[in-house]
Structures are given as C-alpha cells and as structure tokens.
C-alpha cells in the first residue's frame, strides 16, 4: 500500500488563497473586466503582484500565501525557498517543508528532514499549530508505516493514525480515518469490523476513497452483513464523484449481470484514460491512492476487451480487444512492479503479447493480478477473486487446449490456454 501525504489543512483564520482572493474580489473583478484575454495565468500573475505589494507593506501572511501559490502551481523550487525563509515564524510553512522534503518536491528526497518538521508540528504547544497537528500525525504515521526517516513500525503508525483520526472527528485527519480502514483490512490478521467502522467514519466526513471501499464491503459482506442495495448506492455515488476504483467495480458488476451495452459504454470511458497523465491528475483531484486508480482502470480495460472479444454489447473486434488486453497488462505490470521490485516483468510480458491470442492474454492477466497483487493487497473482497478466475478459465478451457509456463513471482503455474 503506497500512501500519499496529507494536504495542508485549512486554517479557520484567513490562511487560504481562496480567502485572500475573496477579500480582494473587487480588485480581481475589475482586472477581469479590463482584461480582454482573462485566463488562469493572468489570475496567477495578478495574485503575485498583489502579494508582492502586501509583502512590501509588511503583511506577514502574504509571505506564506506566495509560497503556497508557488506550491499549488507546481513551482516547487520557488515554494521551497519561500517556505525556508519563514519556517521559524509560520507553522504552515514548516508543515509544507515536511511534505516537500519527505516527497522530494523541489528538492532531493530527505525523509529524515521531513519527519523532523512533522514532529515539530505535532510537539508544538503553539495554538497556531493546532489545526495542523492531526495532519502532521497522519504523515508521521505514514513514515513509520513505510519505514522512511524512522525505523519501520506498524504499531507506531497505527497509534499515530488513531490520534490523527480522533474518533472520527470531521475536523481531524479524515485521510487518517480512511487509511485506518485500509490498514485494518490488509494487515494480518485482518480486522474487518474495524476496517468497516473507519471507512464509515471517513465516508461520513466526505472521503471518496472510503465511500468506494464501503460499497465493496457491503457487496462482499466483509465486516458487515452483505447488502447489495447499499453496496450499489455507495459504488454509484463514489463513481459519480470520480472514484475510478468504484467505477471499475461497477463495470465488473454490469458484466456479471449481463448489462453488456452499459458495461461497454462505461468501461471504454475508464479504459481510455491515459496512464501517464490522467492517473496523477485524478489522484490530485480526488485524493484517491494511485494504486487503486490503476486497479479501476485495469478492471475496466479487461472487461471492455472481453466484450469486444466476444461481441457482447458491441460489434466483435478481436484486434481492438487485444489492444485493450495489452493496456490491461500494462496497468497490472505497473502495480506488479511496485509490489515486486526485485522481479522482472519483461520476460512474461513479451511471452504474453508476442504470439498469444487475446484470450490467452486475458487469462494471464487475471491470474497475474490475483497471484501477484490483488490477493494480498485488496482492501476487501479477495475471496471473490479465485471464483472469478475459475469462471473465466472454465469458459476458455472449453474452447482452447492448455499449456503452462512458470509464474516467476509465486512458484506455481499459470495456465495460459
């Protein structure tokens, strides 16, 4: 489970750029009316001019706002320089420096320095740092979970996340509440009741990742009694809000229910996402983990290829099906390599894509996904994966002879058909 940092929490007392823009709405409106070609770049330029003027007048908050504007625009080197100048005077700058050093934004990754800054926030007695403590504790928990900058300790990570979650307080770290849901459903032994509780708390506080996870927990009856109606309600709402993992699981549901026309239309939209550009953008906008965004895309590309291969809800097109199967394998390989960095994907990928027909790639994709990634990493529902594989295998075995190649990651065999 590869985690991401908590975004800078909002300060209830005038610290956000949106608040700054609101206070200067008349100025911005005048600029807009007087500008023929008004754009985001124009707005950023005018905001920087206003901030520069406020800094000249001695407005201390403007220093941080300028750094935050640099940060939000992706100008990380400028942001780092600005935050470094005011880190002793502004706790928000200290927080952002912790994130930037830990994640390597605008500088070389320095996990120890990132942890040091986050500890300063957590341990600070200053009232102005109060709104940052829960988020900083989440980030510290992440460091202990990943073993970066500190000695790895799941126990300490759990303790910090529980502190950050603050019994489901909506003003605490909602991200910590969601991560606790994932943590309890992936640790050994799994504690699915706790996972359901924390996903419920996070979902109630607006977390999109947990809303999708809740849908799947209801669907498979894990941590809660099975309830298909509640599951579909959660999944559909999460999908509408942009949860790609929920979208991928809805595609699978439509396929199994034989709603093939709906499956094809929905799956194509998801499968056509660009792996390089769309995944980071979706992760930033939705605050969902890239790992689960990729899984949603993998599900969609597989079932879209399946429909094209068999002519279900769409004109049969094996050439296009093979292209989507290839895309499915690319999505899986990305997750597979993250989970198995010491193993090589190229040999198996070339074997699958070199001479095999698209239905062979389909079976390999399902087996590889189950063995190498999903069986160990799914937040919920792993017991359903073997059943899904068996159903597809049974269908293919009736049509094609069987041969096998070694599975390098699991020391068992993958039947390729």
Mean pLDDT confidence for 255-264: 97
What tokens were used for 284? 């930033």
Choosing from 110, 127, 161, the residue where a domain stops is 161
3-state SS record for 137-161: HHHHHHHHHHCCCCCCCHHHHHHHH
| Pair (69, 215) in one structural domain | no
| Pair (120, 53) in one structural domain | yes
Residue among 43, 20, 16 at smallest CA distance from 30:
43
| Pair (8, 55) in one structural domain | yes
Q: Is 87 inside a domain boundary? A: yes
- Kindly list the distances between the CA atom of residue 214 and the CA atoms of 61, 93, 177, 204, in Å, as whole numbers in the listed order: 40, 35, 13, 11
Domain span including residue 53: 1-13+42-161
The residues, ordered by sequence, that sit 6+ positions from 198 with a Cβ below 8 Å of its Cβ are: 165, 177, 178, 180, 181, 184, 210
Q: Is 227 inside a domain boundary? A: yes
| Pair (47, 179) in one structural domain | no
Other Cβ atoms less than 10 A from the Cβ of 371: the count is 19
| Pair (71, 143) in one structural domain | yes
| Pair (114, 5) in one structural domain | yes
Instruction: Calculate ∠ Cα 183-187-189, nearest 5°.
Output: 135
Residue length, the chain?
A: 417
The tally of domains found in the chain comes to 2
Percent of the chain surpassing pLDDT 90: 67
| Pair (143, 58) in one structural domain | yes
**pLDDT single digits (tens) 144-164:** 999 999 999 999 999 999 999
Mean pLDDT confidence for 159-188: 96
| Pair (5, 127) in one structural domain | yes
Q: Is 0.85 surpassed by the pTM of this model?
A: no
CB–CB of 191/156 below 8 Å? Answer: no
Find the CATH number of the domain harbouring 155.
1.25.40.10
**pLDDT single digits (tens) 72-107:** 999 999 999 999 999 999 999 999 999 999 999 999
Mean pLDDT confidence for 215-241: 97
**pLDDT single digits (tens) 387-411:** 343 333 333 333 333 332 323 233 2
| Pair (102, 5) in one structural domain | yes
């Amino acid at each position: 489970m590869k985690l991401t940092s908590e975004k800078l929490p909002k300060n209830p007392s005038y610290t956000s750029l949106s608040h700054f823009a609101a206070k200067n709405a008349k100025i911005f409106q005048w600029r807009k009316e007087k500008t023929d070609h008004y754009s985001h770049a124009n707005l950023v330029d005018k905001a920087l001019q206003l901030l520069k003027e406020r800094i000249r007048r001695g407005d201390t908050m403007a220093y941080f706002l300028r750094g935050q504007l640099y940060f939000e625009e992706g100008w990380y080197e400028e942001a780092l320089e600005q935050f470094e100048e005011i880190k002793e005077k502004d706790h928000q700058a200290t927080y952002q420096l912790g994130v930037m050093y830990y994640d390597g934004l605008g500088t070389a990754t320095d996990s120890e320095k990132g942890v040091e800054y986050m500890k300063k926030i957590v341990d600070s007695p200053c009232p102005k740092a109060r709104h940052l403590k829960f988020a900083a504790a989440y980030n510290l928990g992440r460091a202990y979970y990943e073993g970066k900058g500190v000695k790895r300790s799941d126990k300490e990570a759990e303790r910090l996340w529980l502190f950050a979650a603050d019994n489901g307080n909506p003003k605490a770290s909602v991200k910590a509440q969601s991560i606790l849901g994932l943590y309890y459903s992936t640790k050994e032994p799994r504690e699915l009741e706790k996972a359901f509780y924390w996903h419920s708390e996070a979902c109630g506080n607006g977390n999109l990742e947990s809303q999708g996870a809740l849908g799947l927990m209801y669907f498979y009856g894990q941590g809660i009694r099975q309830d298909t109606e509640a599951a579909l309600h959660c999944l559909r709402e999460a999908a509408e809000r942009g949860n790609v993992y929920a979208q991928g699981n809805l595609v699978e549901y439509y396929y199994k229910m034989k709603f093939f026309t709906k499956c094809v239309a929905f799956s194509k939209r998801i499968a056509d996402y660009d792996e390089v550009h769309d995944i980071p953008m979706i992760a930033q906008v939705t605050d969902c983990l890239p790992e689960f965004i990729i899984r949603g895309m993998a599900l969609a590309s597989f079932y879209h290829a399946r429909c094209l291969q068999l002519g279900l809800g769409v004109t049969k097109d094996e050439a296009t099906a093979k292209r989507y199967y290839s895309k499915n394998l690319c999505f899986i390989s990305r997750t597979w390599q993250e989970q198995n960095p010491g193993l090589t994907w190229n040999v198996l990928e070339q074997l699958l894509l070199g001479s095999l027909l698209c239905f062979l790639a389909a079976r390999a994709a399902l087996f590889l996904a189950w063995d190498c990634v999903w069986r160990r990493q799914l937040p919920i529902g792993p017991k359903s994966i073997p059943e899904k594989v068996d159903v597809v295998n049974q269908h293919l075995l009736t049509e094609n002879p069987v041969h096998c190649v070694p599975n390098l990651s699991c020391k068992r065999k993958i039947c390729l058909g």
